[in-house]
Amino acid sequence: MYLIYSALLALVLILGFPYWLLEMLRHGKYRKGLAERLGQVPAPIRSSRQRTLWVHAVSVGEVLAISELVRGLRADFPQHRVLISTTTDTGQKLASERFGDENVFYFPLDFAFSSRRWISALRPELVVIAETEFWPNFLRVARASGVRIAIVNARISDRSLPGYRRWSKLLRRVLAGVDLFLAQTSEDANRLVAIGAPAGRVSVGGNLKYDVPVSQAPAIAGQLRTALGKSHAGPVLVCGSTVENEELLLLGAFKNVLASHPAAVMLLAPRHPQRFSEVATLLEQLNVKFWRRSLWDGADLKGGVLLIDTIGELSGLYALADLAFVGGSLVPRGGHSIIEPAQHGVAILVGNHTENFRDIVGLFQSRDAVRVVGPAELPLAFMELLANPAQRQEMGRRAAATMASQRGATQFALSRLKALLADGAGGDDRS
């Protein structure tokens, strides 16, 4: 099975090479960390003789989710170094800022040779994988080396479940090497078992993202707050993590807002950095007054859009919002997390495609702490909430209260990981 899988993976990489090369040349994607992905371990990481715990977080969302878990592991295991791997460049940048460049690297491509080099160099006692990164060769190599493996914050989305079910017979062999699964919800736990995870190793641990502390506000947030106050601009709409075909809908709704609130401001943050220029072009074509955040010089923003063309600042900017919209949800992309605006007690709108965050959105909906709208309803929802400050503020208070009620997943995960390491010290009893 593993030989066939490796051959297919190699074939995909060969066939996809022209695309990867084009993306490298156009956007610089995949270029960074290529040697690390192929198994080259940097000298600073290789040279340490400390005992090691390895935490893997794919991208920005997962890095945020595991931040408190990493802090807890460092506190509870001071004799160990805690290293963090990511897959994306944006995740790498955020992880380096949070945990230090010397503790962060790119996760290897899923070939036995590259995984084996990293496992051999780091000799981790425990690998913790956030969410659902089921890499067959990596898990096989780690298990063969006696490494304890835990998957935390695990979730199986509606979109991925059918595919996992089709390969459940093969997945059963892959997942047999994992010692612990901590699912976000009981539904996720049931789905993990259905696709092959050993039932006795699956527990419901809650969602680590509820424990993420409010991010330190970026410097631009203070500058914006001052500028908005001086010019009496507002209300402020923060539209975050938007994807292709959403900005057009949001800008159409914003034009309606401006008819009643001519001093309104939109902070528009596309999800993917490679789309910043594309969205700037769209704003120009629509004749919308806008500034790029990277070039903004303190100009009066009334009646215009500030395009957030930077990474890592969106979370802190939600604090400026009178109303927040979280993207990836007006079009069938599955949505993005609403936790960051909820942390700031902001009224939140999302579109009706939130399958990837069904449980979080469902919980907030049940407490009237988020509004779900379709594209046609979006302008009216903006107008209604902006016209009713008391209603809007109460929605924000309910969002913050919902956040507070769900905390505790990090401490539960830490307790289970400590037990797993203690058990590992006595020998490997996996079958």
Hey, which residues are catalytic here?
62
Our measurement of the distance from residue 107's CA atom to the centroid of its chain's CA atoms, rounded to an integer in Å, reads: 16
d(CA 209, CA 406): 10
DSSP codes joined into one string, 43-103:
HHHHH--SEEEEEE--SHHHHHHHHHHHHHHHHH-TTEEEEEEESSHHHHHHHHHHH-GGG
Contact 192, 390 (CB under 8 A): no
Our measurement of the distance from residue 238's CA atom to the centroid of its chain's CA atoms, rounded to an integer in Å, reads: 18
Q: For the chain, what is the radius of gyration of the CA atoms?
A: 23
d(CA 105, CA 84): 7
d(CA 246, CA 406): 30
Helices (H) and strands (E) in the chain, counts: 20, 14
d(CA 398, CA 24): 44
Our measurement of the distance from residue 288's CA atom to the centroid of its chain's CA atoms, rounded to an integer in Å, reads: 30
Contact 305, 269 (CB under 8 A): no
d(CA 188, CA 166): 17
Count of beta carbons in the 10 Å neighbourhood of residue 30: 16
Residues 6+ apart with CB under 8 A from 342: 348, 364, 369, 399, 400, 402, 403
Nearest one of 243, 204, 212, 431 to 351, comparing CA atoms: 243
